[in-house]
């Protein structure tokens, strides 16, 4: 590989000025803060999940009086745990993917495939935002009583 800068990278090299450096520093700090919050919340959720599941098992098999809400709450918290875990894994570059295929590619192709993968992830998140918002605004949610019945 020669010391010449590829044509596609020239705008990136030109963006090394002090203004961009400050913006990059700010973005790095925001990313670090989001990562720290997500990892701390994920760790706390794991502990809460363990306690809830343990309480459910003890109530069911020791006292023979199951707590019905433990299963529902555990499922709900597990969904949040999966989302927070996804954020943490993406930040660390450890998200589940076809690592064998991607790692077998040349570095320039690997960057291209990783970029396409990130774009697919972004499009997927944007696609589920509207249905999620519609679900949250659903009138059926308002009709659920405290016992979880419609």
pLDDT, tens digit, for every residue of 72-81? 888 888 988 9
**DSSP 8-class letter at 3:** S
CB-CB neighbours of 81 under 10 Å: 19
d(CA 146, CA 139): 15
- Phi, psi torsion values for 143, nearest 5 degrees: -85, -5
User: pLDDT category, 71, cuts 50, 70, 90?
Assistant: confident
Looking at residue 53, its pLDDT comes to: 92
CB neighbours of residue 43 within 10 Å: 13
The pLDDT value recorded for residue 23 is 82
| Mean pLDDT estimate for the chain | 79
**φ and ψ of 102, to 5 deg:** -65, -40
Least confident of 17-31, 35-49, 62-76: 17-31
Which comes out higher in pLDDT, residue 84 or 21? 84
Q: 127 pLDDT exceeds 70? A: yes
Q: Which residue has the tokens 């555990």?
A: 74
CA distance 118 to 114: 6
DSSP sequence for 12-59: HHHT-SHHHHHHHHHHHHHHHHHHHHHHHHHHHHHHHHHHHHHHHHHH
Structure tokens at 69: 């809400």
Beta-carbon-side half-sphere exposure of residue 38 (alpha carbons within 13 Å): 19
pLDDT of residue 110: 85
Report whether 71 contacts 53 (CB < 8 A): no
**Residue-level pLDDT at 131:** 83
Q: Of 12-21, 91-100, 137-146, which one has max mean pLDDT?
A: 91-100
The answer on pLDDT for 60 being more than 60 is yes
């Amino acid at each position: 590989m020669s010391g010449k800068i590829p044509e596609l990278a020239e705008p990136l090299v030109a963006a090394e000025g002090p203004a961009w450096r400050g913006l990059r520093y700010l973005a790095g700090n925001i990313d670090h803060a989001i990562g720290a919050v997500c990892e701390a919340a994920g760790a706390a959720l794991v502990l809460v999940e363990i306690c809830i599941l343990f309480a459910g098992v003890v109530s069911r098999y020791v006292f023979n009086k199951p707590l019905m809400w433990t299963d529902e709450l555990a499922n709900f918290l597990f969904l949040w745990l999966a989302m927070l875990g996804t954020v943490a894994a993406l930040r660390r570059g450890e998200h589940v993917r076809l690592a064998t295929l991607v790692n077998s590619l040349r570095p320039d192709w690997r960057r291209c495939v990783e970029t396409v993968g990130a774009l697919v992830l972004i499009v997927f998140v944007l696609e589920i935002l509207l249905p999620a918002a519609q679900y949250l605004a659903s009138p059926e949610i308002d009709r659920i009583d405290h016992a979880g019945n419609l």
